[in-house]
A and B are shown apart, each in its own frame.
Chain A
Amino acid sequence: MSSRDADVLVLGGGLVGTAVAYGLARLGQRVLVLDEGDIAHRASRGNFGLVWVQSKGFGVPEYQRWTRRSADDWADFSAELLSETGVASGHERPGGVTICLNEEELERRRKRMEQLHLEAGETQFQYEMLNPAELKKLIPAIGPEVVGASFTPYDGHANPLYTLRALHAALLKHGGRYQPNARVTAVDARPGDFRVSAGGHSYAAPKVVLAAGLGNKELGAMVGLNVPVRPVRGQIIVTERMQPVLPMPTLMIRQTVEGTIMIGESREESGFDDTTSPEIVHTLAQRAVKTFPFLRHARIVRSWGALRVMSTDGLPVYEQSVQFPGAFVCTCHSGVTLAAAHARHYARYVVEGALPAELARFSTGRFNVQAAA
């Protein structure tokens, strides 16, 4: 047996990788995170920061339950990160709303919420459809074009950058190691024995966790895992800091604890182009002003694009390689929402050496079904 550099190598140092790595280190594992350089796509640095339940898992109750479990864990998880590192994630869970600007949107939303409610099973899913007067009581700043909204108490938000910083600090505190500028170029895989070449060095461990976002597609192929993820661009606008005016996040617009207002939720297939476009920024701003007319006076300080890590069906991908046991993949487009579940549960499954039946729905077998002619 060769000398081993770690019990687990985690490939990827974003929200997903560091959440799993921190969870592993907390369970006493020797962990080494190999992270690409700053040329990486870095979805964790560009995302919107919702801890969001009310749009996850239509027709896939397993996803609704997994999301809910993480959202339910988040407050405790955030408190734990604060006490471990002194870094506040900015997490709040005041509930959240999805605001509709016409009857068609509202009807679609009503159906979606009914579906989540029916599919929730024992988890239960309580929601309310609010008319404008009811919504105005929750968020007085809504404009006259708002026709209604869905509300659940499960939704919230956090600062993704502080969360990432806290996860890094907590990982190091528990003896984990972080190696930047270590883009993985090759994996020599054998069952329970992996040699990973990265940044001119080779690292050996009995387990690897693929948590490299869009990089998982290429890395998966090295360990016998089919991970069909593609970039889906989102563009975000952020305003100057303003007095508190939005007491809870909405799907598209949220006010951070610092006071800035973030406007987002666009979706585009733009390959690896993570720039912004005037058309999308215009559309986002227009919808934001219709929703909250006061934003007409707000100064925009910045806008940016970021690439979501999207699987073919939008669900996370969790699996242990059959060909090379010990190799796990952990990828999703909700790195903030699922951070608590990744740190607390996924990490434990990696230590135990098997993913539970409740995650079977997220295995890669689902991608091998042939399309009907």
Chain B
Amino acid sequence: MFKLLPESNPLAPAVTVVVNGRSVAVPQGCSAAAAMLMHGGGSTRTTPVSGEARAPYCMMGLCYECLMEIDGEPNQQGCLVIVREGMHINPQLGKPGVKP
């Protein structure tokens, strides 16, 4: 559904991250939310209120629609987290669970 803008640098070095359990290459410097949009299944979370599917909206830290689980930590604003080599990015489904 989403693709990189033509003006983005095609020569930017790639970083390997794990989106939904699948290793993918994304441009260095991109956000976890962007990585999810490029390689995820469209929606990136479901709301804890109604269970409805949601996806990143503002991409600038304000709308909180891009909450996702990053390296096991729930409630991360994916649009504000820059990808790192080996990062695990998963959708956040419903209410966060309770960690022991």
Which residues of A approach B to under 8 Å, CB–CB?
141, 240-243, 245, 258-259, 294, 297, 299
Q: How far is the CA of A240 from the CA of B98 in the complex (A)?
A: 12
Q: CB of B75 within 8 A of chain A?
A: yes
Inter-subunit contact B99/A240 (CB<8 Å): no
CB of B21 closer than 8 Å to a CB of A: no
A299 to B98, CA, bound (A): 12
Q: Which residues of B contact A294 (CB under 8 A)?
A: 98-100
Which 10 A/B pairs are nearest by Cβ-Cβ distance?
A241-B48, A294-B98, A245-B98, A243-B97, A241-B95, A243-B95, A259-B95, A242-B95, A297-B99, A299-B75
B5: Cβ under 8 A from any A Cβ: no
When C-beta atoms are compared, the residue in chain A nearest to B73 turns out to be A297
Chain B residues with CB under 8 Å of chain A are: 48-49, 74-75, 94-100
Report which residue of B94, B97, B98, B100 has the largest number of chain A beta carbons within 10 angstroms of its beta carbon.
B98
28 A-B residue pairs with Cβ-Cβ distance under 8 Å, sorted by A, are: A141-B98, A240-B48, A240-B75, A240-B95, A240-B96, A241-B48, A241-B49, A241-B95, A242-B95, A242-B96, A242-B97, A242-B98, A243-B94, A243-B95, A243-B96, A243-B97, A243-B98, A245-B98, A258-B49, A259-B48, A259-B95, A294-B98, A294-B99, A294-B100, A297-B74, A297-B98, A297-B99, A299-B75
Instruction: Enumerate chain B residues within 8 angstroms of A299, measured Cβ to Cβ.
Output: 75
For residue B100, which residues in chain A have a CB less than 8 angstroms away from its CB? 294
Kindly list chain B residues whose C-beta atoms are within 8 Å of the C-beta of A245.
98
In the complex, what distance in Å separates the CA atom of A357 from the CA atom of B97? 51
Measured CA separation A245–B49 after assembly (Å)? 17
Instruction: Give the residues in chain A near B98, CB-CB below 8 Å.
Output: 141, 242-243, 245, 294, 297
> Closest approach, in angstroms, between the C-beta of A262 and any C-beta of chain B?
15
Q: What chain A residues lie within 8 Å of B48 (beta carbons)?
A: 240-241, 259
Rounded to whole Å, the gap between the CB of B72 and the closest CB of chain A is 11
A241 to B93, CA, bound (A): 12
Cβ of B79 to closest chain A Cβ, rounded Å: 17
Residues of B within 8 Å of A258, CB to CB, are 49
